Amino acid sequence: MKVVLATLNAKFIHASLALRYLRSQVEADFPDTSLLEFTIHDVPMNIVSKIYQEKPDVIGFSCYIWNIEQTVPVLDMLRKVLPNAFIVLGGPEVSYDTRYWMERLPVVDCIAQGEGEATFYQILQSCSESKQQPRLADVRDVRGIYYRSMEGSIHSTFPSDKIAALDAIPSPYETHLEELRNRIVYFEASRGCPFRCQFCLSSIEEGVRYFSLDRIKRDLRRLIDFGVKQIKFVDRTFNINKEYAMEIFKFLIGYHKNTTFHFEITADIMRPEVLEFLAAEAPPDLFRFEIGVQSTNDLSNHAVKRHQNFEKLARTVSIIRDSKKIVQHLDLIAGLPHEDYHSFRKTFNDVFALQPDELQLGFLKMLRGTGMRHQAKQYGYQYMEHAPYEILGNDVLSYSDMIRLKRLEDILEKFWNDHKMDHTVTYLVDQIYSSPFDFFQAFGDFWEANGWQRLGHQYEDLFSRLLEFLKHAKQLADAESNRAEENLVNLNLSVVSGLMQLDYVMHANHRPRHIPWEPMTSRQEQYQRASHVSKQLQNMKDERIGDPSLYATEHVLKHAWVGLLPFDVKQWLEHKRIVLISNQQHFVVLYPFDKQGQKIWTVVF
């Protein structure tokens, strides 16, 4: 019997964990099982063609919020070209409101609810035992499914039990490792979540179950030895069990090779001894922590049954940040109950002040099966009828507010999370605008008003558009000086341009030919600057520079950027202070002669 397991990933680089669990569960008894991964951007006809060529008897699709609507047309075509195949769906998106999906998708024969390993195996047994075509298999005795009878009526069976001993599930990473080359690998150390956040599907399942540490270490060692570059743990709260988490942290610190690891943690329950250990022992950038803050509004958190001590969370984030060892990604959700636009402004500023490496602004989604969806009318929610079920507004947050927050999110991604303009944005949010929220929001509104959201952009365009926005903002502030922010009225655009140059040249991997938004420097002036800098470098005693003789004028012209900035660069880089200067201070960035070298900056008078 030919079995095809398929899904549509968000990106090619993602490797489906669910399909690999299912294959490892069934392939011993059903060896003719193929795993086919596509993306949501693939043409449906091409997906159908690939599956059709396998001539499957059973087709299993893993369905999620991000792929269900793209999967539907694929299913419709598959039924037409493979009329006798048994089509079964599984995954979180179809595990709730399952009758709705059976009614909406008459081409589907069966939907497995919840954990699928044992259920899918039993379905294949029923199909293999059928004396007729697989589609006519009798699956009435399989627990935890909805199925369609021969007459077309929809039935459900008694729910299946949760798998008590997770080690009983065959490892998905014992074979087929070649599929994982140059891809992100998803990894599971536990199932379940102890918390009851009403917007999250994990709140539905009670209790937390763990794979044994021996199993975890064995699988991790195998993946690391193979050369996997990134492993993402999908545990909803990785650090809920301190001893268990510490054992895995210690193992990975001692046996990571060239692999990095991503964890979702709950920061306000992180124990001090764990933080101290990570600060002392973790190599830089080995670990990446995703921390869901969501909101700092206590009333909102209470409404969604989310218990959070923001003071403890902030302390954890600060300790991790100051250690400079672990990348932190903090999450916010706009649209929670009782959180209006002004309250969310406070939430955003509270969390931005923690200086995370990345701050992601998401929007509440009414996931099927969650308590939040059941309470939608209570809070006046309007939301998309189909996945991703994102809200359009509620009783305190209008659709107009949502649109504005979308603009802010876009600017946040382009100008902060990308970290290509940190010096400039830090100056603007700390010293010019009343708050980070106000800067990102005002810039987002300006971006929209100019129609830039409909246009593509090059990296250099980000600088010129920011400068255009600030010129406009200053003009408005000058015209309304009695109502405008004082710092914006006094904004020195030459300082901003200097900081932008700093970002541009420090981010570049080789010497830029010119600064795109500044007038071109003549060849003669470039040569004069290079000659002056060359003489100064050869008289400097700086171990970072190495052999001064390497920096003849011609070498400086080729491998160094020399700029005249209106402020003391050292004061800014070391203390984040803008100190204007009148004398000629050359800011010099020395680019490496080869790929192994490092950029070096210095100041020459």
Burial 367-401 (b: 16+ CB within 10 A, else e): bbbbbbbeebeebebebeeebbbebebbebbeeeb
Give the E-state strand segments of 276-386 in sequence order: 287-294, 327-334, 358-363, 382-383
Q: Bridge partners of 191?
A: 209
Angle between helices 44-53 and 68-81 (to 10 degrees): 50
Give the E-state strand segments of 505-574 in sequence order: 560-564
**Which two tokens mark 434?**
């009343």
**Which two tokens mark 503?**
């970002």
**Which two tokens mark 206?**
């009670």
Amino acid 597: pLDDT? 66
Amino acid 327: pLDDT? 97
Q: Alpha-carbon distance 325 to 317, whole Å?
A: 12
DSSP 421: S
Amino acid 483: pLDDT? 64
Cβ neighbourhood burial of 187 (10 Å; 0-12, 13-18, 19+): buried
Burial 496-532 (b: 16+ CB within 10 A, else e): bbbbbbbbbbbbeeebbeebebeeeeeeeeeeebbeb
**Cβ contacts of 407 within 8 Å, gap of 6 or more:** 441, 444, 445, 447, 448
Mean pLDDT by 10 residues, the chain (605 residues): 97 97 98 98 98 98 98 98 97 97 98 96 94 87 95 95 95 97 97 95 90 98 98 96 97 96 97 96 97 98 97 97 97 98 98 97 97 97 98 98 98 95 96 96 97 90 96 90 75 94 90 85 85 82 70 84 89 94 82 71 77
Q: Alpha-carbon distance 478 to 13, whole Å?
A: 49
**Which two tokens mark 294?**
């969501």
**Which two tokens mark 242?**
């301190």
Q: Alpha-carbon distance 20 to 170, whole Å?
A: 10
DSSP 591: P
* Cβ atoms of residues 267 and 291 within 8 Å: yes
Q: Alpha-carbon distance 355 to 336, whole Å?
A: 23
| H-assigned helices in 361-435 | 371-374, 399-412, 422-427
Amino acid 595: pLDDT? 58
Q: What's the CA angle centered on 314, arms 310 and 319, to 5 degrees?
A: 150
* Cβ atoms of residues 339 and 346 within 8 Å: no
| H-assigned helices in 387-492 | 399-412, 422-427, 436-449, 459-479, 486-489
The rounded radius of gyration (Å) of the Cα atoms in the chain is 28
Best CA proximity match to 556, nearest among 537, 543, 574, 570? 537
Amino acid 446: pLDDT? 97
